[in-house]
Amino acid sequence: MRLDWLDDLLAVSDTGSLARAAEMRHVSQSAFTRRLRAIEEALGTPLLDRSRKPVTLLPDVAAQIPEMRSLATQLRNLRETLAHTSDARGLTLACQHAITTTHSPAIVSILTAQGGRPVRVRSDNREECLLRLLSGEADLAVVYAAPDVAPLTLGRAFDRVSLGLERLLPVATPRLMQGPDLPYIAYPGDVFLGQVMARAVLPRIPAPRVLRRRAETALTLAAHEYARRGIGVAWLPEGMARDDLASGRLMALDDTLPALDMALWMIRLTESGTAPWARDWSRLVTALGHPG
């Protein structure tokens, strides 16, 4: 069963008429009708009840619509997977969640400029990004490191290039209460920013201020939105909060609460230096890399 056949039959089921199905499939009704007859001839069985107006799928065929929909999804996923099995077809970039939002657009822009190869971006916690590199699921990774609390320990199997520093800032809405007790957004202890908070931020909260956990999330995008809604203080990468800080929707509290500079690293497996996409690494290092 071909994917386009499934899509044609699903269009008939979803719209309830050949005219609307043809419009959905971006062909004329006459061309769509010919396609349906060709499918029936190829399968050797009728699929449509033409005795009714509007024409509908036969009951036995309509009963298979859930299976056809599932099969169409599987075929699309398989086609996408096969399209990315060759280095010549694309490159996979693994980023920590916050980096996916703040820094990956610049990286993807460089990689795809002037007809460059397509890029698939995967968003994970730091350890999962490194595991993707080791397993071959990713070609490049961009991750944070905090040398004193969450260092990035890499062996000779990896090449890395510094992309600079990014400040982890405490931010909140101006209307948030600034008394001794301050609500805040926590990160789970098993993710990178949760480790940073536990080891380098919370122990440095100045007395007599006390932070009260109001919510917890592993996603910086969610923490950002919670802060914007006034739920509590969130520690966010500065690049993520920059627009809200500039507009005044959020304010930085690093004058009274601890902040932290995090290193940003781009990493690949050393052996990938001979891969067909190695020149893309060189382009990124030239455009974004810093000594260090």
Task: Delimit the CATH 1.10.10.10 region(s) of the chain.
Answer: 3-83
CATH code of the region 87-292: 3.40.190.290
Q: What SS3 string covers 232-291?
A: CEEEEEHHHHHHHHHHCCCEECCCCCCCEEEEEEEEEEHHHHHCCCHHHHHHHHHHHCEC
**pLDDT by residue (tens digit) across 238-281?**
999 999 999 999 999 999 899 999 999 999 988 765 566 678 88
User: Is 1.10.10.10 the CATH number for 3-83?
Assistant: yes
Please say whether the dihedral angle defined by the alpha carbons of residues 26, 30, 32 and 35, taken in this order, is positive or negative. negative
**pLDDT by residue (tens digit) across 171-209?**
999 988 666 788 999 999 988 999 999 999 999 998 888
Task: Delimit the CATH 3.40.190.290 region(s) of the chain.
Answer: 87-292
pTM, 2 dp: 0.66
